[in-house]
A and B are shown apart, each in its own frame.
Chain A
């Protein structure tokens, strides 16, 4: 049941999608919503590229001796899978797509603070992407996504230089997006939109932007140094030239561990929006969830060397980083406890976005707790560079970040396109994705614990059953991703008209037509209510006095 009266459910005559026409109006747009859609198309393209490599990896591992490619090509497959997915899909996905689209609307602004810089960031992303695609198509890349030296700077015969340049260039796209978000949140909030009335999605984007700005320059310059060492033989990381390979790892992980939080924090922001909407309750512990986003962003910078427990760092530094790594569990647990407390006595409906949110909580819980295993110095000696690590970070990255992204796409799809997707099919896809994901990655925890190392093209025969299970799960997972792509695209033309607030939600984005006008609001809104305050919002049309209100899809 939609709480919005049927009479309201009409597409607005003019909105951001039809305000101007032609390819030029898209390629030169400064509208944050259109730029978000440009990013949507771009990151989806890289998701397919990375997904194709993952498919080949899983097919290859069906057989103990390897089914598909040579070991050298296998090295390239997992490297290119990682580079495409991490730098060109996961990092930009939620900030550049959903964040770009929603952040200004959620705070009542007409656009981001620097609209032209926003467009520039997309073009920079494309230039970086072209360099990386050039690397992929001219010999490929075999260093692992971590570009460890001296392999990347001396010994690798693959196309390292264009890949390094591509990631370096792409870093500026992230920095500009982060800068834009921070300035926008500071300077462009609508009247009444105080810091503690900001949607938690905005808090998450703000925390992510801090990491973008503080961390990305480090990875950019580090990879540039590796490139300079490779091309000009300058001694930064190569011991033969007076450099130190462990220094590369320190600098690389100073960014790349916080980058994990770049990927997961925005997804946590999405979940913080979905849970109260489909539990029909104000979120439990708003200020703690907001504060935990900032805490994760900050603490995340103090833990990086847990990636280096067995690569030669000092035992004392390892002990310190192990202890610090445990601290991240605190703000992460604060979020999970608050989400589950929000569910308590809520009027819960299992609409598609909620299925993704609940799936996120479960998968993030497993991913987070296994992260504690890896933070444990003694246990990590056994588990380091095994499939346990692969399973752990895929539970965070895919089970967490991608579930959050796909859940967020479903939640705001009616706002983005003005159309509803077929709910039943969407629920089937969400369940398929959840089951496929677990079948793919849970066996990898066992494989890793039993000692199967990562990045090997072959394995002992006794590991085959678990590997076949994993590949079977990947097939189901692929179906779970293809289904939304099909029905979401279908819904753009044939879906039912959504109306401004189909769920209904409490944020400002739901008080403007779907799709929104180019300027987002006809009149600058004034915020007079607390966030997620379902108890005092008669305008939403919910009956809060008696029986729990029905949610969309419960009729």
Chain B
């Protein structure tokens, strides 16, 4: 029973949803603008870093508010964090190949 109580749905206000939606739209606009500016002249790979940072921020908004992770029980949050950690392992170990290919 306690499990059921703890997983009762949190009701978010329409204002909040609209705010998040607006934030996502602004971030999309920023992504397009950032793609049109040659940031690589300042730092190699900066364009992709900016694009991915905005994308991660947008994904976090979707997971936290649209998918209700912010209001979910701790166990659900733990599962989400573990999944992201697993994704990080995949990316890290894959990158270990790309980064070290040029080593002699």
Interface residues of A (CB under 8 A from B): 187, 214, 218, 246-247, 250-251, 254, 301-302, 305, 313-317, 320
B interface residue count range (under 10 / 10 to 19 / 20 to 34 / 35 or more): 10 to 19
Q: Which of B83, B90, B100 contacts A254 (CB 8 A)?
A: B90
Q: Is B41 at the interface (CB under 8 A from chain A)?
A: no
Complex CA–CA separation, A187 to B98 (angstroms): 43
User: Which chain B residues numbered 56 to 85 have a C-beta less than 8 Å away from chain A?
Assistant: 83
Given the known interface contacts A314-B100, A317-B100, the answer about A214 and B93 at a Cβ–Cβ threshold of 8 Å is no
Complex CA–CA separation, A316 to B94 (angstroms): 12
Please give 19 more A-B residue pairs, beta carbons under 8 A apart, in addition to A301-B90, A315-B100.
A187-B3, A214-B86, A254-B90, A301-B86, A301-B89, A302-B89, A302-B93, A314-B96, A314-B97, A314-B99, A314-B100, A314-B101, A314-B103, A316-B103, A317-B93, A317-B96, A317-B97, A317-B100, A320-B96
Q: Is B94 within 8 A of A247, CB to CB?
A: yes
Residues on B with beta carbons closer than 8 Å to the beta carbon of A302 = 89, 93
Give chain A nearest CB distance to B55 CB in angstroms: 15
Complex CA–CA separation, A545 to B50 (angstroms): 73
Residues on A with beta carbons closer than 8 Å to the beta carbon of B83 = 214
Give chain B nearest CB distance to A179 CB in angstroms: 10
Give chain B nearest CB distance to A253 CB in angstroms: 10
Residues on A with beta carbons closer than 8 Å to the beta carbon of B98 = 314
Interface residues of B (CB under 8 A from A): 3, 83, 86, 89-90, 93-94, 96-101, 103
Interface of B is mostly: helix
Closest to B103 in A: A316
Q: Is B100 within 8 A of A316, CB to CB?
A: yes
Give chain A nearest CB distance to B25 CB in angstroms: 24
Residues on B with beta carbons closer than 8 Å to the beta carbon of A187 = 3
Q: Is A246 within 8 A of B97, CB to CB?
A: yes
Residues on B with beta carbons closer than 8 Å to the beta carbon of A246 = 97
Residues on B with beta carbons closer than 8 Å to the beta carbon of A315 = 100, 103
Residues on A with beta carbons closer than 8 Å to the beta carbon of B90 = 218, 251, 254, 301
Give chain B nearest CB distance to A217 CB in angstroms: 9
Give chain B nearest CB distance to A135 CB in angstroms: 28
Q: Which of B93, B99, B103 contacts A305 (CB 8 A)?
A: B93
Give chain A nearest CB distance to B53 CB in angstroms: 21
Closest to B82 in A: A214
Given the known interface contacts A214-B83, A316-B103, the answer about A250 and B97 at a Cβ–Cβ threshold of 8 Å is yes
Give chain B nearest CB distance to A359 CB in angstroms: 35
Residues on B with beta carbons closer than 8 Å to the beta carbon of A305 = 93, 97
Complex CA–CA separation, A292 to B83 (angstroms): 21
Give chain B nearest CB distance to A168 CB in angstroms: 18
Complex CA–CA separation, A320 to B94 (angstroms): 12
Give chain A nearest CB distance to B86 CB in angstroms: 5
Residues on B with beta carbons closer than 8 Å to the beta carbon of A214 = 83, 86
Interface centre among B90, B97, B101, B103, by most A CB within 10 Å? B97
Closest to A305 in B: B97
Residues on B with beta carbons closer than 8 Å to the beta carbon of A218 = 90
Closest to B3 in A: A187
Complex CA–CA separation, A187 to B7 (angstroms): 13
Give chain A nearest CB distance to B95 CB in angstroms: 9
What are the 8 A-B residue pairs with the smallest beta carbon separation, nearest first?
A317-B97, A316-B100, A314-B101, A314-B100, A250-B94, A313-B97, A314-B97, A317-B96
Residues on A with beta carbons closer than 8 Å to the beta carbon of B100 = 314-317
Give 14 pairs: A residue, B residue, CB < 8 Å, sorted on A: A187-B3, A247-B94, A250-B94, A251-B94, A301-B86, A305-B97, A313-B101, A314-B96, A314-B101, A315-B103, A316-B96, A316-B103, A317-B93, A317-B100
Residues on A with beta carbons closer than 8 Å to the beta carbon of B94 = 247, 250-251, 254
